[in-house]
Structure formats: structure tokens, C-alpha cells
Amino acid sequence: MDDKLKKIMEQLDGGEIDIFSALALAAGKNGIENMDFARIDHGRKKRCGFPEFIYGENKTVGQLEKIIPVIMNEGSPVLVTRIDADKGRILKEKFPEGKFDEAARVFIIKQDSEKHGKVIILSAGTSDLNVALEAKYTLESCDVSVCMINDVGVAGLHRLLGEMEKLKNADAIIVVAGMEGALPSVVGGMVSCPVIAVPTSIGYGAALKGFAALLGMLNSCASGVTVVNIDNGFGAACAAARIIHGKVKNRIE
């Protein structure tokens, strides 16, 4: 505990301030930068293992252009998710050191960092690749080593079986699939590491824009498969990053 937080706790313990005042002071001392329209949480990486990222949908280009330098000034990587092509091109012009991936709908500015662990991302089909890529860029921004294996859905199971040696050496596996969402169950029955399933909105009418895959994954016959929301590659990557950073922390301790 740093000296400033210790002083706040002593004031609270001595009755000089109430709990709400203490929480407000702690937040102010814990790396929160108030930009009026946004509060940038510079302390998130220390607490959670990954830095502050930017959900770009519904944010204006002007807002993004103001937020990005604030994050960069702290030496953190920049990851803006869910942006359209117009926003991506403008950000690329404004920050030429960055990269816009139109398929993943992300804009990133990387920082050199040591990578930890090994997460494998499996995509069932090429149509699931955009969600898988969102997970990839998120993991890289979380200082996690990533390997992608694409187009290994259950329609041709031999494609997956040919990659089994790689799967056995993973610290965690993210499985991205639409249609009936069967792939995570198959993978969950073949490996011992955590499996994180991502349903996608890919499929014909009865796929119900991802709900069929979501329900299939929630009812997985393979025990212990974790399921995130539809098309949420970002959330799956953050879950995997927590797993990896937890293992790193335990090794250090």
C-alpha cells in the first residue's frame, strides 16, 4: 500500500472522513484521469492485469482523438474496438504509427513488451475470423503470446485433429464458432487447459443470430467450458489474459 492510500485509510480509521469520502479520495489517487466526457483508468493494469482499452462504437472521432494520446502518454498500448472503416481511416491518418484492421474493426498502437503464456485461438470457419481477430489483438495488447488456427470446424473434424499437439501445449484456448456452436465441446473433451467459447452470429435462420450457438455452448457436454457473449472476442481475450497473468503471478510469488 502506498503512502497516500495509507493516509486515507488512517483518516477513515480515525473517523476524520467517512467511507464515501475515502472511496472518492482513493479513486482520485489511483490513476483516474478525468477528461469530463471520459475518465481514463490508468490503474487498471495494476489491478486487473490488462490496461484501459477503448470501446469505440458510438464514440465520436473527436473523442477518440483526445483519449488515445492520454493512454499513450502512460506508455500503454492503444486498443480501440468496434469502429467502422471511416473512423479507422481517420485514426490511421491522425496516428500513423497505429494499425487499423477493418475485418476485426480494431485500431491498435502497439508497445514493445514481453509476452507471457500461450493462448491458441481456434476459429470454426472463415466467417468467424473477424471475432477471432478481435480476440487476437486484445491478447497481444495484454502482453500474451497468441497462436491462431483457422477454419477447423466440426464439418471437417480431421482439420482439428491434425493440430492436437499444439492444443496440448496451450495455457488456454479460445474457440470461436457460429452455426450450432459444437466446436468448444469437442475441444473441451480433448484438452486439460481452460477453454473459452465465443458464439458468433454466423448461420442461417434457425441460428438466430448467434443464440443457437450460445445455447449450445452453455449446454456443452464437456465440463468446465467457459462461455462469453455473442461475437465477444474481446471479452474472451480478457478472460484468457486473466488466466495467463494469474499463472505468471503465481510463478513470481
Lookup: cell for 122: 481456434
Tens digits of per-residue pLDDT, 157-175? 889 988 998 999 999 999 9
Q: What is the pLDDT of residue 111?
A: 82
**Same domain as 81, residue 165:** no
**Same domain as 151, residue 245:** yes
Strand partners, 144: 116
**Same domain as 144, residue 81:** no
65, pLDDT greater than 90: yes
* Closest listed residue to residue 150, CA positions, set 165, 141, 163: 163
Instruction: Choose one of 71, 88, 112: the last residue of a domain.
Output: 112
Stretch 38-43: mean pLDDT? 68
The CA distance from 137 to 187, in Å, is 22
> Considering its fold, how many domains does the chain have in total?
2
Measured CA distances, 5 to 2, 9, 40 (Å):
6, 6, 19
**Same domain as 127, residue 107:** no
**Same domain as 60, residue 91:** yes
Question: Does 153 fall in a domain?
Answer: yes
Q: Report angle CA 185, 191, 192 to the nearest 5 degrees.
A: 115
Question: Does 243 fall in a domain?
Answer: yes
Question: Does 15 fall in a domain?
Answer: no
Instruction: Choose one of 86, 112, 138: the last residue of a domain.
Output: 112
Instruction: Choose one of 81, 96, 112: the last residue of a domain.
Output: 112
Question: Does 225 fall in a domain?
Answer: yes
Tens digits of per-residue pLDDT, 204-241? 999 999 999 999 999 999 999 999 999 999 999 999 99
Q: What is the pLDDT of residue 82?
A: 96
**Same domain as 187, residue 76:** no
* Closest listed residue to residue 173, CA positions, set 152, 147, 138, 143: 147
Percent of the chain past pLDDT 70, that is, above it, reads 87
**Same domain as 128, residue 101:** no
**Same domain as 118, residue 107:** no
Tens digits of per-residue pLDDT, 104-123? 999 999 888 788 899 999 99
Q: What is the pLDDT of residue 72?
A: 85
CATH code, domain with 202: 3.40.50.1970
Q: What is the pLDDT of residue 42?
A: 65
Stretch 3-29: mean pLDDT? 71
The domain of 46 spans: 35-112
Question: Does 121 fall in a domain?
Answer: yes
Q: How confident is the model at residue 25 (pLDDT cuts 50, 70, 90)?
A: low
Question: Does 235 fall in a domain?
Answer: yes
**Same domain as 118, residue 74:** no
**Same domain as 108, residue 147:** no
Q: What is the pLDDT of residue 55?
A: 93
DSSP state of 154: G
Tens digits of per-residue pLDDT, 174-211? 999 999 999 999 999 999 999 999 999 999 999 999 99
Question: Does 7 fall in a domain?
Answer: no
| CB 210 within 8 Å of CB 218 | no
Q: What is the pLDDT of residue 2?
A: 57
12, pLDDT greater than 70: yes
**Same domain as 198, residue 142:** yes
Quick one: which H or E segment has residue 160?
helix 157-161
- Strands (E) across the chain are located at 32-34, 39-41, 54-55, 78-81, 99-101, 106-109, 116-123, 144-149, 172-177, 195-199, 226-227
**Same domain as 247, residue 146:** yes
Q: Which residue has the higher pLDDT, 58 or 11?
A: 58
The CA distance from 119 to 15, in Å, is 48
